Amino acid sequence: MTTGTTATDLTGRMLIAGTPVFGDGEQIRAIDPATGAELEPAYGHGGDAEVARACAAADEAFETYRATTFEQRAVFLETIADNIEAIGETLSARAHAESGLPLARTTGERGRTTGQLRLFAQVVREGSFTGARIDPAQPDRSPAPRADIRQRKIPLGPVAVFGASNFPLAFSVAGGDTASALAAGCPVVVKAHDAHPGTSELVARAISDAVASCGLPAGTFSLLFGSGRNLGISLVTDPRIQAVGFTGSRGAGLALTAAAQRRPQPIPVYAEMSSINPVFLLPGALAARAAELGGEFVGSLTMGSGQFCTNPGLVIAVDGPELTTFLDSAAEAVGAATPTPMLTPGIARAYESGVQALADQGGVTVLARGRESDAPHSCRAALLATDAESFLAGDGLDDEVFGSSSLVIRCRDAAQVREVAAGLEGQLTATVHATAADAAEAGALLPTLERTAGRILFNGWPTGVEVGHAMVHGGPFPSTSDSRTTSVGTLAIDRFLRPVAYQDLPAELLPSVLADGNPEGIWRRVDGELGKH
Amino acid sequence: MTTGTTATDLTGRMLIAGTPVFGDGEQIRAIDPATGAELEPAYGHGGDAEVARACAAADEAFETYRATTFEQRAVFLETIADNIEAIGETLSARAHAESGLPLARTTGERGRTTGQLRLFAQVVREGSFTGARIDPAQPDRSPAPRADIRQRKIPLGPVAVFGASNFPLAFSVAGGDTASALAAGCPVVVKAHDAHPGTSELVARAISDAVASCGLPAGTFSLLFGSGRNLGISLVTDPRIQAVGFTGSRGAGLALTAAAQRRPQPIPVYAEMSSINPVFLLPGALAARAAELGGEFVGSLTMGSGQFCTNPGLVIAVDGPELTTFLDSAAEAVGAATPTPMLTPGIARAYESGVQALADQGGVTVLARGRESDAPHSCRAALLATDAESFLAGDGLDDEVFGSSSLVIRCRDAAQVREVAAGLEGQLTATVHATAADAAEAGALLPTLERTAGRILFNGWPTGVEVGHAMVHGGPFPSTSDSRTTSVGTLAIDRFLRPVAYQDLPAELLPSVLADGNPEGIWRRVDGELGKH
């Protein structure tokens, strides 16, 4: 089934278990940040009643949905991807209008979104996510016989997903959290981000159509509109919700986490919150190509108006002429950078006040700003610098400024570079630029970076997160609320699973992944030995 | 190295990074619950200074300890096991004296403890716990090349372990939490349980001797004595501690969890707290062997004075003549049950008041009590019954009573059995007794039990938790604070690991588990395909 939806079809309605519902709360419209114009139609916020309705439907759908075969679930994910593609240009155009992100980017992001869904379909078919383990009975064991014990992972239950502002497709309604939760066997209730309601509605219909055409219970998916503080908290505290996926600000992530912990039954919250993604420029790399690094750095810094979780917000290097060359090159590139719209008026305001707050700190100088623009909500890139003493003594110099702002820390020597590294909060990424001449120093830094970040890059830039099997998009607090997981890549499915052991279960009741003879043909650990047995 | 320690060697000292330290806080002595006699020597409680010292040493040891090879770490775990065995009968005798548990039980528990350590040595050597994944570079990919991305799991950092009262060996100083944390590569700081300080000291010396003889940093292990409310909270909130393993009461577990969440950097707490382990007797099973089931049930209920996390505290069945037969048989067995000492005077008092609180609830009748005893701190088994309406309406009828107490719920019909099942809190186990005649009913119950419990047993009894690869000793809240894990079995190692991705890391800096050519010979996922490649 394809939707053939066009933008003029937009209704402003939530989609609760397949039923369109116009919320009777506050009405909001998307704003095109490039022009400041409001976009039709109006979207009505829902409230507690809609949360309860969506969660009840998700809970009711859970048993049926989690009992789907690998093939059924994989086809469902692929059908969602097909349906999203079938919307056609309408979708990337609407995402472009609602986000101010270039059309090429929203088109690319659509491909990332459908690719992610299809990758999780592969993960489901492969079956290892079930973590099947079998310890066969040993009836003759002495002093006591051993029972037959088998283990698999089952889905947690209905999952609440919060759409992220900065990825209106790939980390929103059918984004990574939704794809991994559905792959795990969990129904999903999405709270749309108010910045891109039209994009959300289009994608929600693509999912809902897939639910229907795959013959799944309608409650497998719902889309809600509402404020984070009201509907969002109501969603997280609904007793039927069993886990939460969130990407956004530290304040909002901590509020959701606290709400989840206050529940009579606390639940896991996977909040991806804030990161300034330190970049270490080691002396050999600076000696080899300081000016080039400056240009590449600003390319990463200004891409998408710097609105990436992995934007390089901190640069750390030993002071000296090579660093000056880097800074001159970077300052020139920042000064020449074309101002580009930010996602929302609020984000643009927060960006400017964040840059100002950094600049006002003792010991901080502004090295360069991007050009002024007459367009509203534009991001003027900002390059600032300070010395390590000020950074180590400072308060707030490591706060994330969401946008194209970066702070360079001049260090006295390699020991001070390591001291700054050791004092950093948890990060999504840490990047090292090094040559063979830097091997000793890079090796000395590595253990610290492993303790600090979820992903460590050499001689690259942190923006651009590959969706694959080995990716980790996560990291120690406060970059995320739970460092044991990732929100990008196939390992993300683990977030929504828990192990269950079955002792002496009659054969006819055993789930197929644990049945004798391995009918699903998956990898299983039998008495600790991995094999397709 | 062997310790050759005898009970007379006990010093009353903590062991902080290999150094004996007598705490200057409150002095406590173990009590033999079978006689009420105090046991020498006195143990001095430590405080904040000792916590800081142990945690600083653990943090300092971390980088060296986590860099050990699989073989080094496995040999260390095996050396601990050897050293524990080398203590000889002294250890099981002291554990018997301090816990009131039969000598045969503490001897068996010693075997379980060393077996656990050796099993984790196998897990370390096998290497899959590192979760190695490699997505090779695709330099020619269009539109953008793919970087080389590799993933492994690394240890979280120093772990705090709280000794449990009810397993003075297998879930105490060198118990499951310690074994799995050390296997993961985390230094461990143990807070000993005040009920068995001598056992704790003996085992701590066995570990410390292994640390020394294996050439590991002294801070790899420390043992502290102190109160949970003071030293325990201080330990959990020390910024160097990165995870917590705990087995004990719901109140204490929730207090530790709350303290960990209030930290500037919240950390995971794996608290195994309370469970009443429902047992469902289906009609076919009752028709086949009601009287036998009654006897077996009381065997499970009274073993170890009922002081197991998986003690069957709730029995659910449709009322009728077969259930009456079961109850008559069980009541007779309870009445004949020999009173056995409980672990501590406090536990014995809490047990009696817990039974009384249950008996005082509306609709509850006491069917049988065990014999009175002149011995102090004895457990008189208790069998109580109520009807489903009272249970569903009641408040506190599902509270755990730690000890040999169980409540039988008489249901009107199968639908009411399912209603009771659906309303239960999270449990470690759920047990079903069924015959082929019960297949439909058992199948209908199973999905509910999967959502409720971490382990589901058929035609057995929940006490006795096999240590293997497929075991899950965990479950939804409040049975544990984190249902995504287990505290028994090899999967427990996952609790102390987090994934890190390496992008374009120079070959000489890659950890060996991710190096080209698979020098460790472990299972790795390359482009999503599992193999020894």
Could you give the CA distance from residue A453 to residue A59 in angstroms, rounded to a whole number?
36
Size of chain A, expressed as the number of residues it contains? 533
Beta bridge partners of A237: none
DSSP letter (8 states) at residue A371:
P
Q: Calculate what percentage of chain A has a pLDDT beyond 70.
A: 98
Confidence of residue B8 (pLDDT cuts 50, 70, 90): low
Could you give the CA distance from residue A472 to residue B203 in angstroms, rounded to a whole number?
39
A517 in a domain, yes or no? no
B503 in a domain, yes or no? no
Interface test with A, best of B269, B452, B500 (most A CBs within 10 A): B500
The complex scores an ipTM of 0.97
| CB crowding A403-421: b at 16 or more within 10 Å, else e | bbbbbbbbbeebebbbbbb
B465-473: average pLDDT: 97
Domain identity same for A229 and A284: no
Cα separations in angstroms, A230 against A30, A51, A161: 19, 10, 15
Q: With beta carbons under 8 A apart, name residues in chain B contacting A481.
A: 266
**What's the pLDDT score for residue A5?**
45
Domain identity same for A245 and A335: no
Residue B4 has pLDDT above 60, yes or no: no
User: Looking at the 3D structure of chain B, how many domains does it have?
Assistant: 2
B525 in a domain, yes or no? no
**What's the pLDDT score for residue B143?**
87
CB contact under 8 A, B135 and A466: yes
What is chain B's mean pLDDT, rounded?
A: 96
Q: With beta carbons under 8 A apart, name residues in chain B contacting A146.
A: 466, 468
B295 in a domain, yes or no? yes
Could you give the CA distance from residue B199 to residue B197 in angstroms, rounded to a whole number?
6
Cα separations in angstroms, A381 against A81, A307, A335, A369: 35, 11, 8, 5
CB contact under 8 A, A458 and B506: yes
Q: Is B15 in contact with B222 (CB distance < 8 Å)?
A: yes
Domain identity same for B292 and B257: no
A527 in a domain, yes or no? no
**What's the pLDDT score for residue A4?**
40
DSSP letter (8 states) at residue A425:
P
Angle of CA points A38, A39, A40, to nearest 5°: 125
Q: Is B195 in contact with B98 (CB distance < 8 Å)?
A: yes
Q: With beta carbons under 8 A apart, name residues in chain A contacting B506.
A: 434, 436, 439, 442, 458
Q: Is A94 in contact with A7 (CB distance < 8 Å)?
A: yes
Residues 6+ apart with CB under 8 A from B384: B355, B358, B359, B364, B365, B366, B367, B405, B406, B407, B408
Give the rounded distance of the alpha carbon of A411 from its chain centre. 32
Domain identity same for A110 and A199: yes
Q: What is the dihedral of CA A185, A518, B116, A137, to 10 degrees?
A: 120
Q: Is B497 in contact with B153 (CB distance < 8 Å)?
A: yes
Domain identity same for A339 and A248: no
With 0-12 / 13-18 / 19 or more C-beta atoms within 10 angstroms meaning exposed / middle / buried, residue B145 is exposed
Q: With beta carbons under 8 A apart, name residues in chain A contacting B456.
A: 500-503, 505
Q: Domain holding A111: CATH number?
A: 3.40.605.10
Residue B381 has pLDDT above 60, yes or no: yes
Residue B273 has pLDDT above 60, yes or no: yes
User: What Rg, from alpha-carbon coordinates, does chain B have?
Assistant: 25
Domain identity same for B314 and B432: yes
Instruction: List residues of B with catalytic annotation.
Output: 272, 309
Domain identity same for A257 and A306: no
Domain identity same for B268 and B284: no
Query: A-B interface: how many C-beta pairs under 8 angstroms?
Result: 208
Structure tokens, B3: 């310790």
**What's the pLDDT score for residue A8?**
55
Domain identity same for B265 and B355: no
From the list A134, A150, A469, the residue facing B135 with the nearest CB is A469
B379-393: average pLDDT: 97
Q: Domain holding A403: CATH number?
A: 3.40.309.10
Could you give the CA distance from residue A33 to residue A44 in angstroms, rounded to a whole number?
21
Backbone phi, then psi, for B510, in 5-degree steps?
-65, 135
| Pairing outcome for strands B149-155 and B133-135 | antiparallel
CB contact under 8 A, B470 and A133: yes
Name which of B427, B370, B365 is nearest B403 in CA terms: B370
pLDDT, one tens digit per residue, over A417-459 is: 999 999 999 999 999 999 999 999 999 999 999 999 999 999 9
A140 in a domain, yes or no? yes
Confidence of residue B89 (pLDDT cuts 50, 70, 90): very high
pLDDT, one tens digit per residue, over B190-204 is: 999 999 999 999 999
Give the rounded distance of the alpha carbon of B156 from its chain centre. 19
CB contact under 8 A, A505 and B456: yes
Could you give the CA distance from residue A131 to residue A147 in angstroms, rounded to a whole number?
20
pLDDT, one tens digit per residue, over B308-364 is: 999 999 999 999 999 999 999 999 999 999 999 999 999 999 999 999 999 999 999
Domain identity same for A288 and A166: no
Q: Among all residues of chain B, which has the CA nearest to that of A468? A: B135
Q: Is B483 in contact with A498 (CB distance < 8 Å)?
A: yes
Residues (pLDDT < 70) of chain A are 1-8
From the list B443, B500, B523, the residue facing A450 with the nearest CB is B500
Could you give the CA distance from residue A284 to residue A279 in angstroms, rounded to a whole number?
14
Structure tokens, A153: 């992972």
Q: How far is A317 from chain B (nearest CA, A)?
A: 19
**Which residues form the domain of B157?**
14-273+485-495
Q: What is the dihedral of CA A357, A361, A365, A366, to 10 degrees?
A: 0
Confidence of residue B1 (pLDDT cuts 50, 70, 90): very low
Structure tokens, B278: 């429902």
Q: Is A328 in contact with A297 (CB distance < 8 Å)?
A: no
Instruction: List residues of A with catalytic annotation.
Output: 272, 309
Domain identity same for B215 and B362: no
Domain identity same for B399 and B301: yes
Q: How far is A335 from chain B (nearest CA, A)?
A: 27
Residues 6+ apart with CB under 8 A from A359: A366, A382, A384
Residue B3 has pLDDT above 70, yes or no: no
Q: Is A275 in contact with A415 (CB distance < 8 Å)?
A: no
| CB crowding A346-377: b at 16 or more within 10 Å, else e | ebbebbbebbeebeebeebeebbbbeeeeebb
**Strand runs labelled E in A185-267:** 188-191, 221-224, 243-247
From the list A133, A147, A268, the residue facing B460 with the nearest CB is A147
Name which of A418, A249, A240, A404 is nearest A336 in CA terms: A404
CB contact under 8 A, A501 and B455: yes
Q: With beta carbons under 8 A apart, name residues in chain A contacting B454.
A: 498-501
Q: With beta carbons under 8 A apart, name residues in chain B contacting A434.
A: 506
pLDDT, one tens digit per residue, over B115-164 is: 999 999 999 999 999 999 999 999 999 989 999 999 999 999 999 999 99
Residues 6+ apart with CB under 8 A from A215: none
B533 in a domain, yes or no? no
| C-beta pairs of B523-526 under 8 Å, 24+ apart in sequence | B523/A530, B523/B127, B523/B128, B523/B132, B524/B132, B524/B133, B524/B134, B525/A469, B525/A470, B525/B132, B525/B133, B525/B134, B526/B133, B526/B134, B526/B135, B526/B136
Residue B6 has pLDDT above 70, yes or no: no
Interface test with A, best of B109, B125, B483 (most A CBs within 10 A): B483
B385 in a domain, yes or no? yes
